Structure 1
Amino acid sequence: MGGVNREETSARRRRGLGATPAADRAPWHPRRLRDLLRLAVADRQAIDADGLLPPENELMDEFSASRTAIRDALALLVDEGQIERRRGQGTSRVASYIVFDIAVPGTQDIDEYRGLTSGVVPRLLHRSWTPAPAPLARRLTGVATGEPCLAIEYVLNARNEPIAVITNYLRASEGEMVAEVPFVADFYTFLLDAGVDIADQATTLQARLADNEVAPLLDVEVGSPVLAFEQAIRNGRGEVVDVALGVFRDDVRMTASNFVYRPPG
């Protein structure tokens, strides 16, 4: 009787139609755009032979962002020491990286994991469908540049203290599964409660300084040391279904381990 089928509902959600107010499309915030531009800085594919990033107009097209948003995000990267901007010469990468692999040993049952994270509570900052820029699309399995993904940005609290600012980017198929699910626990529990298949993860860490975007959210001074990370969450087929970008406060001591999810029955 005039209903909308599941395929139509999914398409509307991806376009930002028929979504909850928390999931409405919103312009890029400089903080989130800065994180994605940092991926472009780290990616050799985005740097030309002279070490230059694409010009502003190309970045505007790639990220579907305004010139002001691009400039604000680039200014944050300048403050970090990631890039250098010279009038008439373009934007060049100045940060260098030491890259290494890290394996996280051990497994644990998901019920045990829930018990360990029961005191972790997110404070949602932003939740919307957004087109995947190239650096993000390269990391998400089967996602082309410009295809929709679900962005969820939040402050992670533990023992009533803010410990991290994180943005997770989910593929559309997994994003549709969680789009209407309340986000009230840690992110793994959030995914599992929605029925998302997750099997393992890989995390890259790098020391950084808190800028004027994350410092107030973490209740630290601008310039305080923080630990930035990039995480890929994979399903049982080895596909990357989610990419997370964020920073932890420097006084956080965290033990990370992979887990084995054993479905009921």
Structure 2
Amino acid sequence: MRDPKPRSGGSGVSLTRADRARTVASVLRRQVMRGAFPGGVLPDERALIAEFDASRNTVREALGLLRDEGLVERRRGVGTVVTGRAYEHPLGELSGLAEVLQRHGVVVNEVREARVLRPPLTVARRLGLPEGGMAVYLERLRRVDGIPLSLDCTYLIPEVGEPLLARAGKTPRTLENHDVFDLIETATGMPLGSAEVSVHATVTDPATCAVLEMPAGGAILAVERLTRLADGRPADLEFLHLRGDRLTLHATLDRATRYTDPSGSSSS
């Protein structure tokens, strides 16, 4: 089947087959990553052609994009099958990554480093530490059912981090079997209050690729999260490196809660 002539996007721009394939792949990618296909098998080409009103070549190109990302593969006699999926981390709740991931499988935290150190000046300032003050540093690799999903680098204020290290010294598997948020609340006897989160996507450096067992040049979601105790004090500053091909960040947003200033105008 030959591709039709390029279609107009409504603004005078002609959409190429590559444009159409990218659009199809975007929808299928989301379905694949959410486990939407029963048995892990995608609909056959004829069904996809009908669903997306696309040519066979466009559908095949879209499936090729997903194959190159390691999400699907073609198996003779079976069809296109899912070979990778992603796990959702909700941004609308203050929960640790391990708390979320344990809903999907067996979570293992590999402790790569745990020690007291002098943090970088910018980290010390974010944590409200005096210049030259010390912090506790934790670095952990998280796996779900054996698959590396994130590399977490965490700086904790001394009154939070030092009890964690002391507890880990008595029970070595403490840092492996518990989420940092749970440990913080146990150590301080105080619940966590709020967190500031920023996210950006970046190409992974070779060392991080090796730790996360990712293809060279793969993308990660770099998350910076400053968490505060209920009394407003900073507790920890985390730099999370999430595999972009295995983790998605999810939030439900309400436009009705937009900020309205005293003059009555709303701000988005």
TM-score (norm 1): 0.51
Residue 200 of structure 1: how far off its partner (Å): 2.0
Structure 1, unaligned runs of 5 or more? 1-102, 258-265
Aligned to 1:180: 166
Change (3 A) 1:250 1:196: farther
Aligned to 1:192: 185
Name the stretch that deviates more: 247-256 or 231-240.
247-256
Q: Please tell me whether the aligned partners of residues 228 and 234 of structure 2 are also in contact (alpha carbons under 8 angstroms).
A: yes
CA displacement 1:192-240 (0-9 Å, x = unmatched): 3434532222211011111111111111022111111111010011121
Read off the aligned partner of 2:240 and give its amino acid letter: G
Aligned to 2:207: 213
Pairwise CA RMSD: 2.8
Change (3 A) 1:115 1:209: closer
Aligned to 1:139: 126
Aligned to 2:136: 150
CA displacement 1:6-36 (0-9 Å, x = unmatched): xxxxxxxxxxxxxxxxxxxxxxxxxxxxxxx
Read off the aligned partner of 1:185 and give its amino acid letter: H
Read off the aligned partner of 1:134 and give its amino acid letter: L
Q: Please tell me whether the aligned partners of residues 105 and 144 of structure 2 are also in contact (alpha carbons under 8 angstroms).
A: no
Change (3 A) 1:202 1:153: same
Change (3 A) 1:193 1:120: farther
Aligned to 1:121: 108
Q: Please tell me whether the aligned partners of residues 208 and 228 of structure 1 are also in contact (alpha carbons under 8 angstroms).
A: yes
Q: Please tell me whether the aligned partners of residues 121 and 186 of structure 1 are also in contact (alpha carbons under 8 angstroms).
A: no
Structure 2, unaligned runs of 5 or more? 1-89, 168-173, 253-268
Aligned to 2:232: 238
Change (3 A) 1:221 1:170: same
Higher relative contact order (CA 8 A, sep 6+): 1
Residue 165 of structure 1: how far off its partner (Å): 0.7
Read off the aligned partner of 1:159 and give its amino acid letter: D
Q: Distance in 2 between matches of 1:134 and 1:121?
A: 31
Q: Please tell me whether the aligned partners of residues 126 and 153 of structure 1 are also in contact (alpha carbons under 8 angstroms).
A: yes
Q: Distance in 1 between matches of 2:107 and 2:216?
A: 25
Aligned to 2:217: 223
| Partner SS state of residue 232, structure 1 | strand
Larger radius of gyration: 2
| Partner SS state of residue 230, structure 2 | coil
Change (3 A) 1:254 1:119: farther
Identity of aligned residues (%): 20
Match for residue 253 of structure 1 among 248, 253, 262: 248
Change (3 A) 1:114 1:156: closer
Q: Distance in 2 between matches of 1:256 and 1:192?
A: 24
| Partner SS state of residue 242, structure 1 | strand
Q: Distance in 2 between matches of 1:176 and 1:133?
A: 18
Read off the aligned partner of 1:160 and give its amino acid letter: G
Read off the aligned partner of 2:139 and give its amino acid letter: E
Counterpart check, 1:202 vs 2:196: yes
Read off the aligned partner of 2:227 and give its amino acid letter: I
Determine which structure has the larger strand proportion and give its number.
2
Read off the aligned partner of 1:169 and give its amino acid letter: Y
Aligned to 1:5: none
Change (3 A) 1:172 1:209: same
Residue 136 of structure 1: how far off its partner (Å): 0.6
Residue 132 of structure 1: how far off its partner (Å): 2.3
Aligned to 1:96: none
